[in-house]
Amino acid sequence: MPRQITAFSNPLVKQVRGLRDKKNRRREGHFLAEGLRILTEAREEGFLPEILFYAIGQHHPLLDTLISETEAQGGEVIETTPDILHKMSGKDNPQIVLGVYPAFPGGLDSLDRTAANIWIVAQSLRDPGNLGTILRTGDAVGAGGLILIDDCVDPFSVEAVRASMGALFTQRIVQASWEEFVPWLRSGPGQLVGMSLQTDIDYQTPRYESPTFLLVGNEAQGLPEAYEAECDLLVKMPMLGKADSLNAAVATAVMAYEVLNQRRPR
C-alpha cells in the first residue's frame, strides 16, 4: 500500500530533490522523470521506477497501473502533496506523478550497431532541450540510439528527460570520448556522416550506407576540424535566407529523415 509523505523536511524528499543536481545523480546513480505520459511510455518499454510519487487524491487508469506494477516489482509508492512534488521536480506546475529511476549503464561495447540503420552521434552538445529533441527524433526514425561524445549535457537532467518526452527510454544512450569512439566505429561497418558548413555536398546528393552514424557538433562551434577530417562524408543543407545554419536538433532531424527516406520502400 502507498504511504504518505506530507512534510518538506522528510529525508527522502530532500534526497530526491537532490537528484536535480548532476553530481548527486552521478553519485547515487539515479535520475528523475515526471509526468504520466513519460512514466507510462517508460513502463511500456520495461522500465518501472524504484520510487513512485503521486499527488494525493489523483486517480487515473494509467496511474493505477503504474502504482500496481511498481509495487509488484518491489518499488516504493508514495502519496504526497502538489507542493512537495513541486519542491522535488523544480517545476512551477508539477505533474501529478514523479518517478526515481536507476541510470542506464553501458558503453560502446554494449551497442549492436547492426540493430539499426541510423545512429546519432552528438559532440559537446550543451543544451538539454536539443538533447531531448534529438532523442525524440531518434525514436521517430527508428534510430538505434544516441552516442554522446566528449563533454555533453547530462541526458538524465530533469530538463533533458522532460524534453525527450519518453524517448529517453526507447533509445540506447552511451557516453564516450572521441578517442574511444573512433576505434570502436572503425572496428565494424558504419559510415560517419558529419553535418558541416565546410563542404559543398548537398545532404540529398549522397546515397547513405548502413548503418549511418550522423555526427552533429556543438551548437555554437560546430565540429572541430580534426573530427570533420575523420568523417567519411561531410554534407550541408541549403540555406536560402540570412541564417547560415540550422539549430543542431533541427539539422539532425532533417538529416535523419533524409537517411530514413532513402531506405523506405516506394
Give the tens place of pLDDT for each residue, 36-59.
999 999 999 999 999 999 999 888
Q: What is the pTM of this model?
A: 0.91
Query: Looking at domain 3-102, which of 3.30.1330.30, 3.40.50.720, 3.30.530.50, 3.40.50.300 is its CATH number?
Result: 3.30.1330.30
Cell numbers that stand for 26 in this block = 552521478
**From the CA atom positions of the chain, what is the Rg in Å?**
20
Mean pLDDT, residues 123-137: 96
Asked if the model's pLDDT at residue 94 lies above 70, the reply is no
Polymer length in residues for the chain? 266
Question: Which residue would you say has higher pLDDT here, 184 or 57?
Answer: 184
Q: What is the pLDDT of residue 91?
A: 72
Asked if the model's pLDDT at residue 105 lies above 70, the reply is yes
Give the tens place of pLDDT for each residue, 193-252.
999 988 999 999 999 999 999 999 998 888 999 999 999 999 998 888 887 777 899 999
Domain coordinates in residue numbering, the chain = 3-102, 108-263
> At the top level of CATH, which class does the domain 108-263 belong to?
alpha beta
